[in-house]
A and B are shown apart, each in its own frame.
Chain A
């Protein structure tokens, strides 16, 4: 047991160091050449840097890195939570249509022009949350057969609902043609144009959802035993499920409202984290958050540099990585994939 704990600590230290390295790397890489010395001096003492370099680093690269971190962590954690509740590693917010639901919420808000701030809170993530929750509920009801939730019908219901929502989004997009390219990029999942304002907008929602999930880590483990067993162990299964589904939806919604639908992070990352640290959510969720953050940061850095000065939507890159992984999981479903 002691040896195992030590191992786990090493894993976390490794993951943290890797994330720090990636952040550092991402600061240096970009379409505009900046003297690395400037970057270093910006980090340690921002006064001695040229104004243009300071703007690129402080107002473009840094918020984007932080946002990639938040979005990646959010999607990975949401994926891990959905997987535990559905008790299947094949689901993530993108596949079961929750990202599309959140996206549709955002589109509707933009289309109707109801971008109102209440108590300093931007309401865009709230619309995304509404869309996500309605979608989760719909997919869940569609997929349920009696008391059971067969994974196949769940996936199919998710795909079907995604289709409908995606065409709704396309329709709204066609109606609102003025900034089409920006919307298309958003739709494909992109962190382009991230600003401190985006971070400020989603942070309250993100932190709330994240805190709720951290509060219920033990319950996630119990849920994995199956609902009947969980009930016999004294867990209020229905309430726990609703709270956790709500929190994971809010998490998804908050990140989708700034980044659009970035797929497969919620699928791939929890799975890899589980292979490394095991199924216990008290360790899995923090590690999945770190991995998800690193993964998206890496993908986003690639997205903005591969074809510089042009930028790819990062969703394309994550889908290229995640799609094959999904197929691999499908083919291996008879084996132990948890």
Chain B
């Protein structure tokens, strides 16, 4: 493949601060590259060094095997078009005139608009779906329409490379997709080399073939989206905890931020009320966030590693008794669980299903007749019993013998019931 753009150890400083600390890039013709990174990682600066808006302090940029500095401004405008971050135009040129300005690098000073200019402008207006806007003033357009017009103007330059700085940062979600769909089309059908800078990781991952992740002026990772966007990379570059799933529509990674509910809640005193939760299969994850936020001291167990409740408890940093999945809970784990229960003021048993593996989680309640308990009863025990009545038997025994049990039909009343017990 032909290399369209190559940078060799480019460095750039604003005043005393070094923004780019040696960037080496090789971008093939016809690729669709997304440059990502946190604020101040240098991504916009890198784009400006590539577009020759800023001159690198050291290092070189080659565009189509020719030094960037050797291009005249007209030659460069014919080779590379740029859609800057701020595309606001505050005077009322009409759309057609704005797009025709893209022909500037081809027009002689005195010659008017020729047939070729007209043909090309019409083509790019068709591609960008701006024909119907042609006689509107640029000021009357919506953000998405204006962005399409600016892209049309860039295309009228007939470039080989299109650079875009945050092309969707000020757009609503419907326009964001529209702009990237257009870029995707231009890349696929016209074989345009496209480089975008964006802070929107998901959009970039959706559309760009390859990502370049910058951290503090250096390339931290580069390659296909699924290699660059890993939980570990995001943690190191953004200092954020994320979950990465695969978008079923595109097979590309999709990032969700993990809420760190306690991050700003440290000042609120933890309540002196300990609750032990027995759950599993995601039956507790909804209410443990809430209880954690209310300041209760929580523990949970025994949970299988990888279980949905286990994940939630991990994220919240709750004390967990954990067990490997698919085998029965072991003696050691039961012992550990007992320790936590002994410390607790209240035990909550969620509406979890019972099988061989976790029957011990139910049996354990028989050992603590004096502890306060809340048992979820919105689902009949019969329906949750997968071991032929064994669980039901224990359940009934509990209800007969234990006087400290509160059956809870309505889960939404959980916190108010806990408050009553607390006092």
Contact = CB atoms under 8 A, between A and B. Distances in A.
B84 A233 contact: no
Contacts of B96: 1
A59 interface: no
Contacts, number: 68
Interface in B102-136: 102, 104-105, 107, 109, 135
A235 B104 contact: yes
Interface residues of A, number: 22
B82 A232 contact: yes
Given A222-B104, A225-B89, A225-B101, A234 B74 contact: yes
Interface string A260-280: 000000000000001000111
A228 B104 contact: no
A144 interface: no
A200 interface: no
Tell me what chain A mostly uses at the interface: helix, strand, loop, or mixed: loop
A235 B93 contact: no
A54 B80 CA distance: 65
A234 B78 contact: yes
A280 B97 contact: yes
B101 A236 contact: no
A244 to B, nearest CB: 14
A215 interface: yes
Contacts of B77: 232-234
Tell me what chain B mostly uses at the interface: helix, strand, loop, or mixed: mixed
A176 interface: no
Interface string A203-238: 000000000000100100110111011011111100
B92 interface: yes
Interface residues of B, number: 32
Given A215-B109, A234-B104, A279 B92 contact: yes
A222 B53 contact: no
Contacts of A233: 77, 101-102, 104-105, 157
Contacts of A280: 93, 97
Given A225-B101, A228-B84, A234-B77, A218 B109 contact: yes
B107 A279 contact: no
B73 interface: yes
Contacts of A336: 90-92, 139
Contacts of B104: 218, 222, 233-235
A279 B92 CA distance: 7
B317 to A, nearest CB: 45
Interface in B61-82: 73-78, 80-82
Contacts of B98: 225
A334 to B, nearest CB: 11
Given A224-B89, A229-B84, A232-B82, 12 more contacts: A215-B109, A218-B104, A228-B82, A231-B52, A232-B80, A234-B73, A234-B78, A235-B73, A279-B92, A280-B97, A336-B90, A336-B139
Interface of B: 51-53, 73-78, 80-82, 84, 86, 89-94, 96-98, 101-102, 104-105, 107, 109, 135, 139, 157
Interface of A: 1, 215, 218, 221-222, 224-226, 228-229, 231-236, 274, 278-280, 336, 338
